[in-house]
Amino acid sequence: MRLLILGGTAFLGRATARAALERGHQVTCLARGTSGQVADGADLVVGDRADTRGYADLVGDFDAVVDVARQPRHVRTALDALTMRVDRWLFVSTINVYADVSPSAVDADESAPLLPAWDGEEWAPEQYGAGKVTCESLVAQAFPSSHLIARAGLLGGPEDVSDRTGYWPLRFAHPSRADGRVLVPHSPDAQVQLIDVRDLARWLVVSAESGTTGVFNANGPSVPLHAAIAAARGVAAHTDELVPVPPEWLAAHGVSPWMGERSLPLWVPWPDLAGMMTVDTTAAQRAGLTVRPLPETFIDALAWELQAGPGRARKAGLSPADEADLITQRLSEPA
């Protein structure tokens, strides 16, 4: 297969290129080259998707495209340039396209209502999900019987540029305090649902090979948050004390859920966002999506974190000094 990845210099695009190369395909990536390197063995064609001429250096036809765009105008420029030269289009979307992520959306499948579509020229990150709704429909219109839309959940594993999945095994492997205590959210009912980037990548490639079409929630199983944290702890062989703190305590101390600076990654406010962590993945499983056990994701995420340097600045989580200080504050409170 001749596979074109629109992207390929970041987390999922690079993993998809690796999966395709492992399966003997020829891989071309189109990107500006500012996010990182492409996988060894893939060709990089430098182009800017903001520009209609950004695809001018691509040569020949392709059996399939894997597109990771976030912006409708990037999808539009690509479709204008490439529709006649491609057999199938696989678009990586997100579960953020769904209008309802409240508890009433638990176990919702792909037929659940979507956000109103957003189609602005200037990129606005807060329009991420609504922009993906537009991207999906542009692809579906251009490839009515040969598109695949993968609505991905949280991506995890090695090279996670959001720094979320590596936080937990790394913190357990390198606690911030000499007594080894680790601060964890106490949210007993909370669930988390993530997919190892390599499992999604492989499924995209296999689907491109087989010509699988349709719209799929592409995610792993929904598991209790405490079980996910326990899996990360087990991988790091951490046996010191946990310091569980309720969501209200974290909010009062300026610690955010989910992602970003001063956060505790993977934890979402519960049950308010329960729909986000419990999407139905039956259709994708029927279409061949298989996922590895969570500990494997954490083992490899930890290995990558250790290689990247445990002391590096992170985009998600608590810094060791901050976490140590929060634990001291918690322990000094009356029981």
Helix or strand or coil: residue 209? helix
27 binds ligand NAP (CB under 6 A): no
115-123, 154-162, 204-212, 300-308 -> range binding ligand NAP (CB under 6 A): 154-162
The reply to whether 129 sits near ligand NAP by the rule CB under 6 A is: no
Q: CA-CA distance, 182 to 199, in Å (whole number)?
A: 29
267 binds ligand NAP (CB under 6 A): no
Q: Which residues of 110-127 are buried (b: 16+ CB within 10 A; e: fewer)?
A: bebebbebbbeeeeeeeb
291 binds ligand NAP (CB under 6 A): no
Is residue 314 at the binding interface for ligand NAP, with CB under 6 A as the rule? no
Q: Does 240 bind ligand NAP (CB under 6 A)?
A: no
User: Distances in Å between the alpha carbon of 167 and those of 155, 176, 229, 257, 310?
Assistant: 14, 12, 10, 13, 10
- For ligand NAP, the closer of residues 8 and 72 by Cβ is 8
Give yes or no for residue 262 binding ligand NAP (CB under 6 A). Answer: no
Determine, following the binding rule CB under 6 A, whether residue 212 of this chain makes contact with ligand NAP. Answer: no
Is 50 a binder of ligand NAP (CB under 6 A)? Answer: yes
* 136 vs 323 by CB, closer to ligand NAP: 136
- Told to check if 154 binds ligand NAP by CB under 6 A, we report yes
What is the C-alpha separation between 305 and 308, in angstroms, rounded?
Answer: 5
Query: Could you tell me how far CA 230 lies from the centroid of its own chain?
Result: 21
Q: Is 155 among the residues that bind ligand NAP (CB under 6 A)?
A: yes
> Residue 242 — φ and ψ, nearest 5°?
-95, 150
The minimum distance between CB 221 and ligand NAP, in angstroms, equals: 16
Residue 256 near ligand NAP by CB under 6 A: no
For residue 277, give the amino acid letter.
Answer: M
DSSP structure string for 137-192? HHHHHHSTTSEEEEEE-EEESTT-TT--TTHHHHHHHS-SSTT--EEEE--TT-EE
d(CA 298, CA 302): 6
Tell me the closest approach of the beta carbon of residue 180 to ligand NAP, in angstroms.
29
**Applying CB under 6 A, which of residues 1, 2, 10, 63 lies at the interface with ligand NAP?**
10
Token pair recorded at residue 184: 């964890």
Stretch in the footprint of ligand NAP (CB under 6 A) among 25-33, 78-86, 274-282, 300-308: 25-33
Decide: is 43 part of the binding site for ligand NAP (CB under 6 A). no
Binding mask 66-105 for ligand NAP (x = CB under 6 A): --x-x---------------------x-x-----------
Closest CA to 276 of 99, 116, 11, 137: 99
**Per CB under 6 A, 31 contacts ligand NAP:** yes
Whole-number Å distance between alpha carbons of 16 and 281: 20
Positions touching ligand NAP (CB under 6 A) are 7-13, 31-35, 47-50, 68, 70, 92, 94, 152, 154-155, 162
